[in-house]
């Protein structure tokens, strides 16, 4: 193994670091990485010790795989071990042959390859397990790995959110469910195209292309790591142009809908314990233009000195300070009272997990708006044209109609500002003057006169 792969220099000492596969981490007491001090500052010496440590971890991982409750059978383990030997041989054919033959004085005529021993191993497996298992071993040894063989290693390295991890894993498993006989070597561009035609026919183009994007990124990683030679998903997509032409865009709430959302009676089929959380979140969204996840990620310490400090956002431009609207000051003061600075402003939601912290709030709001007759679902549309994000659209609409400059509105809601002058050179508008003026230009409609069917809040 060449270079400094798996090597980390701490001070003047080299250390060996290797990630533990996700499926094996429970067997290593939850550790994510194997670390070992190589006790040298010399890179050449560290490389040799690194190779020994790598071989030891290979043996440990293999043993854990065999012994684990979900471990693979012996034939599979032998096939995968053979692949490992092939990779070592490709990295350094001379060193591999010397290790196998126990010699360090080899010349070109003495070199051997893994394929010189493959048939012998296959014959032994055939005698012990039968011809079917012999054939399966040969497929594995020649690289006929299942599609998800490297998936967990990829997911541990790719640095995406926990929700995105679930989506990517689901996309690969869906592909495997379509054709369980596919392997990394047998999945060709034609097969990928067939999958799009057969399995994704009738699926909404946005959903289908998201699934394709997930498997494409997995194959990008496989190609970069040398596990496959080509990415059959490159340029594969579902044409959604016709669907886009026929689709009506999602929109802002009308003032009539805002009236229903804020001044209707609480539905009988919803828990009153959830009322305060939802009402507060809706009002913050309407009077700040923040995204739902930005609101749910606000800590108590982020709501001080008259501003919301948005630290976690969908985009880089979304990290910003937003002045607190005068109509929100009482809500913020009530929710800050008696809480630790590190606690969440909307503390009823828990800390979140695989999904965004806002997921339960989003679902609750969907039930509420339908209960108060705020819905706009077109024929053939999966989603309503109004949702929680419509508060953000309503805020932008109100700010524009109040005469606020577009570049100020962009700064308030956290949109990337276009152009060199404002997008690169400018340090941004004044929070306390320009952005606060924009915030205060947006006003909630009065309860009266919004809708004759709306009942005042009890």
Q: Which residue has the higher pLDDT, 67 or 264?
A: 264
3-state secondary structure of 169: helix
What is the model's pLDDT at position 108? 63
What is the model's pLDDT at position 70? 46
Which tens digit of pLDDT belongs to each residue from 153-166? 899 888 887 778 88
199, containing H or E segment: helix 189-199
- The token pair at 355 is 């999904």
What is the model's pLDDT at position 71? 44
Whether 367 and 270 have beta carbons less than 8 Å apart is answered as yes
Taking 60 as the threshold, does the pLDDT of residue 354 lie above it? no
Decide: residue 130, CB within 10 A, 0-12 exposed, 13-18 middle, 19+ buried.
exposed
Q: How confident is the model at residue 101 (pLDDT cuts 50, 70, 90)?
A: low
What is the model's pLDDT at position 389? 95
Whether 277 and 346 have beta carbons less than 8 Å apart is answered as yes
In angstroms, the CA 35 to CA 98 distance is 28
Fold observed for domain 255-440:
hpI Integrase; Chain A (1.10.443)
- The token pair at 339 is 């809480």
Q: Which residue has the higher pLDDT, 420 or 189?
A: 189
Taking 60 as the threshold, does the pLDDT of residue 352 lie above it? no
The set of residues, in sequence order, having a beta carbon less than 8 Å from that of 320 and lying 6+ positions away, is 310, 313, 411, 412, 414
Q: How confident is the model at residue 106 (pLDDT cuts 50, 70, 90)?
A: low
In angstroms, the CA 240 to CA 52 distance is 52
In angstroms, the CA 305 to CA 33 distance is 42
Which tens digit of pLDDT belongs to each residue from 243-294? 444 557 899 999 999 999 999 999 998 888 889 999 999 999 999 999 999 9
CATH classification code of 151-246? 1.10.150.130
Q: Which residue has the higher pLDDT, 186 or 208?
A: 208
Residue 292 has a CB neighbour count (10 Å cut-off) of: 23
Taking 80 as the threshold, does the pLDDT of residue 143 lie above it? no
Which tens digit of pLDDT belongs to each residue from 223-235? 887 777 789 999 9
- The token pair at 245 is 């032409």
Which tens digit of pLDDT belongs to each residue from 420-456? 888 888 888 999 999 999 999 999 987 644 443 333 3
pTM given for the model: 0.56
What is the model's pLDDT at position 107? 67
In angstroms, the CA 251 to CA 375 distance is 11
Average pLDDT, the chain: 84
Domain ranges within the chain, ordered by starting residue = 7-125, 151-246, 255-440
- The token pair at 288 is 């700040």
Which tens digit of pLDDT belongs to each residue from 376-399? 988 767 789 999 999 999 999 999
Q: Which of 252, 292, 250, 249 minimizes the C-alpha distance to 390? A: 252
């Amino acid at each position: 193994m060449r270079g400094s792969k798996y090597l980390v220099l701490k001070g003047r000492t080299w250390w060996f670091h290797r990630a533990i596969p996700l499926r094996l981490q429970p067997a290593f007491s939850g550790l994510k990485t194997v670390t070992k001090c190589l006790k040298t500052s010399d890179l050449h010496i560290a490389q040799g010790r690194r190779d020994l440590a790598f071989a030891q971890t290979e043996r440990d991982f293999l043993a854990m795989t065999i012994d684990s409750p979900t471990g693979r059978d012996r034939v599979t383990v032998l096939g995968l071990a053979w692949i490992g030997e092939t990779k070592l041989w490709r990295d350094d054919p001379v060193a591999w042959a010397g290790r196998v033959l126990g010699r360090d004085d080899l010349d070109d005529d003495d070199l051997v390859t893994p394929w010189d021993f493959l048939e012998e191993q296959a014959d032994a497996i055939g005698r012990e397990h039968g011809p079917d298992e012999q054939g399966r071993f040969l497929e594995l040894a020649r690289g006929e790995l299942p599609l998800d063989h490297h998936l967990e290693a990829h997911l541990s390295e790719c640095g995406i959110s926990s929700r995105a991890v679930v989506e990517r894993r689901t996309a690969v498993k869906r592909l495997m469910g379509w054709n369980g006989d596919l392997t990394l070597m047998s999945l060709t561009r034609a097969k990928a195209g067939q999958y799009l035609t057969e399995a994704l026919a009738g699926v909404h183009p946005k959903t289908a292309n998201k699934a394709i994007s997930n498997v494409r990124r997995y194959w990008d990683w496989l190609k970069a790591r040398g596990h496959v030679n080509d990415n059959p998903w490159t340029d594969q997509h579902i044409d959604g142009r016709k669907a886009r032409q026929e689709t009506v865009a999602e929109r802002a709430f009308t003032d009539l809908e805002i009236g229903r959302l804020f001044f209707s009676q609480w539905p009988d089929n919803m828990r009153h314990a959830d009322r305060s959380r939802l009402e507060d979140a809706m009002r913050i969204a309407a009077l700040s233009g923040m995204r739902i996840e930005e609101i749910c990620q606000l800590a108590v310490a982020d709501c001080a000195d008259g501003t919301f400090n948005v630290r976690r956002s969908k985009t880089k431009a979304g990290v910003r300070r937003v002045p607190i609207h005068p109509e929100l000051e009482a809500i913020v003061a009530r929710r800050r009272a008696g809480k630790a600075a590190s606690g969440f402003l909307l503390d009823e939601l828990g800390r979140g997990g695989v999904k965004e912290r806002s997921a339960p709030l989003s679902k609750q709001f969907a039930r509420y708006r339908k209960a108060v007759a705020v819905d706009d679902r077109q024929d053939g549309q999966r989603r309503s044209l109004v949702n929680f994000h419509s508060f953000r659209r309503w805020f932008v609409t109100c700010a524009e109609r109040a005469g606020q400059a577009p570049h100020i509105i962009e700064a308030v809601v956290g949109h990337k500002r276009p152009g060199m002058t404002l997008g690169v050179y400018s340090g941004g508008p004044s929070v306390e003057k320009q952005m606060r003026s924009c915030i205060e230009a947006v006003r909630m409609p009065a309860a009266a006169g919004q809708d004759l069917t709306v009942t005042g809040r009890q």
